[in-house]
Chain A
Amino acid sequence: MAELRLVNGVRRGKTFDIILDGQALLAYEGETVAAVILASGRRLLRLTRKRGEPRSVFCNIGVCYECRMVIDGSPNVRACQTRASPGMVVNTQHGLGEDDIA
């Protein structure tokens, strides 16, 4: 679903990779981690603690905390409020994320 990232009407800056669950993923300067992941066609950001349910971005303005992921070793970081940067290591969060820290 590459065309989720619109090409008309916008000029993007530099590209780089982030590492999502061990795989390189293309990002553009200025994009949030949530945007990079959604643009790749993937939605899952974390699995909940009690029921193991999949969750993704909900509010995208930093209020709901549904998009929390393990970013550069810190759990519970909001993907919608975090700018992607070259080489950033992002992992799907399971529950509270304690076991996701390598």
Chain B
Amino acid sequence: MIARADLAIVGAGPAGLAAAIAARQVGVAAVVLDDNEQPGGQIYRQPPRGFSIDPATGIRDDQARGRRLLDDAARAGVSVRNGVAVWNAKPGALYCCQGDEAWTLQYETLILATGAYERPLPFPGWTLPGVFTSGGVQSLLKAQRIVAGKRVLLAGTGPLNLVVANQLADAGAQVLAVLELARPSVFDLLPMLAGRWELLAQGIGYVGRLAGRRIPIMRGWTIIEARGKEEVQSAVIAQVDDEWRPIPGSERVLEVDTVCLGFGLLPSTELSQLIGSEHRYAPELGGWIPVCDEYCETSMPGVFVAGDGAGIAGSLVALEEGRVAGLRAAMRLGRIDPKEFSAQAARSLARLRRLGRSRAVLDRISRPRPGLFERITPETVICRCEEVTASEVRKEIEDGATSLVELKARLRVGMGLCQGRICSSTLIELLAQGTGQRPEDVRPFSQRPPVKPIPVSALLALEEACHD
């Protein structure tokens, strides 16, 4: 089956929804696709059918903001198709599936608003049950009202951990500590950023509340090992130096049943890579990101990127970029002229310039430093899907492997179901360290469809797609 759209948008988080609303307001009806069952993306995720969550639970703010955005979308006449996975992208066509149904969507213009996922950083024991990402624990709590555990340790960097720590404490979990790498703290710079960065602003409030609850924020500490048999039973923590290298002799052991890891986010760039747009290496924005101009247009005319998928920048930036991209797409479609574009987009563009400045400060502080990789022991699993350890990777590098492609051929890393999302950023770092290359000179895995799991019917369509 073939469908057509003037404007296709992948992702119904803040960026994708804002884009669809802006486009609709100037007369362009977009087709919005999202593989989640509920619209809203990560931050504005709505509770599932059958649930109603009391506004007093402290998670209401995000859901309420999300609700407002969804209401705006409904009022503007935007409709979102949920539960649709886009598994391949080419110039002019998206390949979609939902359940057993597969189809092609031909588009004139495209906005990729695919968001981000949490940065995986290996250390011994990180595969044990009970070790989660902080965002994962948060989404369990937010959307399902389930607490992941009882004695919880959070480790990483940035404001998300502070938010999650409080939400867990509200839910009755015993939060032992939040280990924050940055020192001097991110939080000392807050007055400057207040109100500009939603999550950070929330974070400030939460620092106070954590203190009130006597939950320590241990700055300059991190987790170096998770121990346990069937699941995590204790965590070894250590102080780190300025490069975030664990300091020998500073270790302590905490009894825990749950560990939350929040080390920042990585952009989801599978589709922007598949489609063939240019990418650049920007470690402060999460690694390889699509190149785009100030109107969010990639190196391919008519193809736009907005939100965290264009480089990690938070929900406020996502909203404004979405709006700019939506209007710019309308201009490319000839629905508005450049003058009207400038008039309509002016406020968002000004906000983005302002947000960009505060962002730069945070980016500098929370950029991952090389010491974090020193937690990796020879036995540490790097590729979770294929169970490949650091010693296996290092041996291949010593034997002459210089690229991800060679590692993949020799060790099957990146060939599992996660398609390298979990291991590739670490492998790039290990290759850089082992060969003396700069991380940006290590070529990333080339993307291959399908980027999402698909049924057999879609596979047949894939074969056809590969032959034309």
**Cβ contact within 8 Å between A30 and B54:** no
In the complex, per-residue mask of B37-72: 1 if CB is within 8 Å of any chain A CB, else 0: 100001000011111111011000000000000000
**Cβ contact within 8 Å between B418 and A64:** yes
**Cβ contact within 8 Å between A31 and B129:** no
Q: Does B306 contact A (CB under 8 A)?
A: no
**Cβ contact within 8 Å between A9 and B130:** no
Name B17-55 residues within 8 Å CB distance of A.
Answer: 35, 37, 42, 47-54
**Cβ contact within 8 Å between A55 and B127:** yes
Knowing A35-B146, A65-B416, the reply to whether A12 touches B51 (Cβ < 8 A) is yes
**Cβ contact within 8 Å between B144 and A32:** yes
Name B113-148 residues within 8 Å CB distance of A.
Answer: 117-118, 120, 127-133, 135-137, 139-140, 144-148
Q: Does B378 contact A (CB under 8 A)?
A: no
Closest to A28 in B: B50
Closest to B422 in A: A64
Name B122-180 residues within 8 Å CB distance of A.
Answer: 127-133, 135-137, 139-140, 144-150, 171-172
Closest to A77 in B: B453
Report how far A32 CA is from B146 CA in the complex, Å.
Answer: 11
Report how far A100 CA is from B140 CA in the complex, Å.
Answer: 27
Report how far A50 CA is from B257 CA in the complex, Å.
Answer: 26
The residues of A that contact B453 with a CB separation of less than 8 Å are 76, 78
The residues of B that contact A54 with a CB separation of less than 8 Å are 128-129, 230-231
Report how far A76 CA is from B54 CA in the complex, Å.
Answer: 35
The residues of B that contact A39 with a CB separation of less than 8 Å are 144, 146
In the complex, per-residue mask of B232-270: 1 if CB is within 8 Å of any chain A CB, else 0: 000000000000000000000000000000000000000
**Cβ contact within 8 Å between B50 and A76:** no
Name A42-82 residues within 8 Å CB distance of B.
Answer: 43-45, 48-51, 53-66, 68, 76, 78, 80
Report how far A54 CA is from B296 CA in the complex, Å.
Answer: 43
**Cβ contact within 8 Å between A11 and B171:** no
Q: Does B385 contact A (CB under 8 A)?
A: yes
Report how far A35 CA is from B453 CA in the complex, Å.
Answer: 21
Knowing A6-B147, A56-B231, the reply to whether A49 touches B129 (Cβ < 8 A) is no
* B interface residues, how many (CB within 8 angstroms): 48
Chain A interface size band reads 35 or more
Say which residue of B50, B52, B385 sits within 8 Å of A65 (CB atoms). Answer: B385
Please give the distance in Å from B234's CB to the nearest CB on chain A.
16
- In this complex, the member of A12, A51, A55, A80 whose beta carbon has the largest number of chain B beta carbons within 10 angstroms is A12
Report how far A3 CA is from B174 CA in the complex, Å.
Answer: 13
Knowing A61-B136, A64-B422, A68-B417, the reply to whether A56 touches B50 (Cβ < 8 A) is no
Knowing A51-B387, A54-B230, the reply to whether A1 touches B132 (Cβ < 8 A) is no
- In this complex, the member of B35, B51, B150 whose beta carbon has the largest number of chain A beta carbons within 10 angstroms is B51
Report how far A76 CA is from B453 CA in the complex, Å.
Answer: 10
**Cβ contact within 8 Å between A9 and B140:** no
**Cβ contact within 8 Å between B137 and A60:** yes
**Cβ contact within 8 Å between B231 and A60:** no
Please give the distance in Å from B231's CB to the nearest CB on chain A.
5
Q: Does B359 contact A (CB under 8 A)?
A: no
Q: Does B421 contact A (CB under 8 A)?
A: yes
The residues of A that contact B230 with a CB separation of less than 8 Å are 43-44, 54
Please give the distance in Å from A75's CB to the nearest CB on chain B.
11
**Cβ contact within 8 Å between A5 and B49:** no
**Cβ contact within 8 Å between B37 and A64:** no
Report how far A48 CA is from B127 CA in the complex, Å.
Answer: 11
Q: Does A102 contact B (CB under 8 A)?
A: no
Q: Does B384 contact A (CB under 8 A)?
A: yes
Knowing A1-B150, A38-B140, A61-B139, the reply to whether A10 touches B57 (Cβ < 8 A) is yes
Knowing A6-B171, A13-B51, A53-B127, the reply to whether A38 touches B385 (Cβ < 8 A) is no
Please give the distance in Å from A48's CB to the nearest CB on chain B.
6
Please give the distance in Å from B10's CB to the nearest CB on chain A.
15
**Cβ contact within 8 Å between B146 and A11:** no
The residues of A that contact B145 with a CB separation of less than 8 Å are 5-6, 9-10, 12
Please give the distance in Å from B280's CB to the nearest CB on chain A.
23
**Cβ contact within 8 Å between A43 and B231:** yes
**Cβ contact within 8 Å between B48 and A31:** yes
- In this complex, the member of A11, A65, A78 whose beta carbon has the largest number of chain B beta carbons within 10 angstroms is A65
The residues of A that contact B387 with a CB separation of less than 8 Å are 48-51, 53
Knowing A12-B51, A63-B117, A63-B421, the reply to whether A58 touches B37 (Cβ < 8 A) is no
**Cβ contact within 8 Å between A61 and B117:** yes
Report how far A17 CA is from B50 CA in the complex, Å.
Answer: 16
Closest A-B pairs by Cβ, 5 of them: A13-B50, A60-B136, A30-B48, A56-B129, A29-B50
Can you list 15 A-B contacts with CB-CB less than 8 angstroms, sorted by A residue number? Answer: A5-B146, A8-B57, A9-B53, A10-B51, A29-B50, A30-B51, A45-B129, A54-B230, A56-B130, A58-B384, A60-B140, A61-B135, A64-B120, A64-B384, A64-B418
- Known contacts A61-B117, A63-B422; 15 further A-B pairs (Cβ under 8 A): A9-B54, A9-B56, A10-B47, A29-B48, A31-B146, A35-B140, A48-B387, A53-B387, A56-B129, A57-B132, A58-B384, A59-B132, A63-B421, A64-B384, A65-B417
